[in-house]
Amino acid sequence: MANPAILTVDDDPAVSRAVARDIRRRYGDRYRVVRADSAETALDALRELKLRGEQVAVLIADYRMPQMNGIEFLEAAMDLFPAARRVLLTAYADTDAAINAINVVDLDHYLLKPWHPPEEKLYPVLDSLLEAWLATAEAPDNDLRVVGHRWSAPSFAVRDFLARNLVPFRWLLADEAEGSRLLAAAGASANDVPLVVTADGKSLVQPSEAELAAHVGLTTTPAADFYDLVVVGAGPAGLGAAVYGASEGLRTVLIERRATGGQAGQSSRIENYLGFPDGVSGAQLTDRARRQALRFGAELLSAREVVALEDAGSARMLRFADGSTVAAHTVVLATGVSYRMLTAPGLAELTGRGCFYGSAATEAPNCSGQDVYIVGGANSAGQAAVHFSRYARRVHLLIRGADLTRSMSSYLIEQIARIDTIEIHPCTEVVGGAGAEHLEELTLRDARSNQTRSVEASWLFVFIGAEPRTDWLDDAVARDPRGFVLTGPDLTRGGRRPPGWTLPRDPYHLESSMPGVFAAGDVRADSVKRVASAVGEGAMAVSLVHRYLEAQ
């Protein structure tokens, strides 16, 4: 952690060196002395310090400087470091200006040049100012910082990406003091959000996920061109395959388009997973699995989108969106599923601005004291309802069926029944949404009476259905009409092998219509949509990978 700074600025080189020398002699063991020869140079230094999250204790500026005098400089510096103590260096003839500056920039002190001996004329003044600053100084801010607007979809996307990838950050509103100061330091405006400031002071204006990943320590480039096993998708099935593949000596790379954990990683609480009697959050489970895979030597690539799978003879090649490729002997497809979008009028343009798909954990504290609407009747929706009930005034669970018994685990139904602030609305669907800057109103329809009603709402979280992320596969592997990957027995029904299959054996149980390419978890046709079964299929796929490799 860098020491707090004392910044001096004077356009006279001799005076500048002298004041820096005297300050460094007394305070150099506790403070970093930053010297500038012009107001503009000093402001540039302050902007860099601000972006790096460092502190400035005292600003010492000469009054007579070209382009920008000391008072003007201190006024500009206040926008970046309002808590820093301010000192003006003046000649005797400028004392009136210094006295007037007390009202203009809230000047703490002015020093007459020369200040010798410093033991009598400089150090007592600085001792007093530093003591006052230390009494009110905030802790240095070296976290990743995100500046944005409350109802900005791009701002939410950045926060959600960081949160789901377990990257700690501090959220600042662009129209609040600290957010405005960071925007000014980065040379950006409120229209340029989201602004991301990294721990080392790098400012990223409206970054892409790939750019963001590269600057927060996530790996985006494979270390090799060829692997034994490529796993596409870092949900429970993909993480399971990566752990077992790497632990058994396979050169393994795990590729994730957005964030590790998939839908399970968004779950606030998983209570029916083996080995966790008190439950575990999706983020905790994901983090443990990720660290386990890395410990065994698997590579994890983040924010990389795979757009094609190709048969390259004895190898299988995956093509990324940027045109680069990676190849392997075998592939495990574990891309999971995504929540279906609500087609109700008015909601598409409000996505990320009050309408969210999945459990947006970063938004829960913002719902404090307000009503939250959740659409869905399966476990994910139930877990979200329980989680949001800790913050919201009331949670409205909207389900299309008559009750929850058909699609939700009984332990979760019982838990919801014990929470007074959760209200279940059976046979109810969202048929419309409206709002200017953000969601303000929902239109609900009761399927029993066919009556509609409007409710005030700022928060809508959707957990409906499951759509596989397989469009990128095209005709590379066989899929069912809904897009789920067909494997094993589903490919050989009626005694026929899949078209193009040239091996003398039938496809293995989790093997797709392309030999050496396996599917595991929710993306596989007729799979059991549970975290434990997905992890099991990921492990099982690796055992079949070994069998495939041994036969080559």
pLDDT of residue 547 exceeding 70, the answer is yes
pLDDT of residue 92 exceeding 80, the answer is no
3-state DSSP assignment of residue 28 = coil
Give the H/E segment covering residue 35.
Answer: strand 32-36
| Res 106: pLDDT | 82
| Torsion angle in degrees (nearest 10) through CA of 281, 285, 286, 289 | 180
Beta carbons within 10 angstroms of residue 117's beta carbon: 10
The mean pLDDT value of the chain amounts to: 92
Across residues 264-285, what is the average pLDDT?
86
Cα 478 to Cα 514: distance, rounded to the nearest angstrom: 8
pLDDT of residue 80 exceeding 80, the answer is yes
When mean pLDDT is compared across 138-147, 190-199, 521-530, the lowest value belongs to 138-147
Q: In 435-516, which ranges are E strands?
A: 441-446, 451-456, 460-462, 467-468
Residue 142's pLDDT band (boundaries 50, 70, 90)?
A: low
pLDDT of residue 350 exceeding 70, the answer is yes
CB contact at 8 A, 323 and 304: no
Across residues 69-90, what is the average pLDDT?
92
What are the pLDDT digits (tens) for 392-440? 999 999 999 999 998 899 999 999 999 999 999 999 999 999 999 999 9
For residue 400, give the nearest of 433, 432, 378 by alpha carbon: 378
Residue 116's pLDDT band (boundaries 50, 70, 90)?
A: confident
Residue 267's pLDDT band (boundaries 50, 70, 90)?
A: confident
Cα 48 to Cα 201: distance, rounded to the nearest angstrom: 7
| Res 93: pLDDT | 59
Go through the domains of the chain in sequence order and give each one's CATH number.
5-136 (3.40.50.2300), 144-215 (3.40.30.10), 226-338+467-551 (3.50.50.60), 348-462 (3.50.50.60)
| Res 141: pLDDT | 66
What are the pLDDT digits (tens) for 228-261? 999 999 999 999 999 999 999 999 999 999 889 8
Cα 249 to Cα 338: distance, rounded to the nearest angstrom: 32
| Res 466: pLDDT | 77
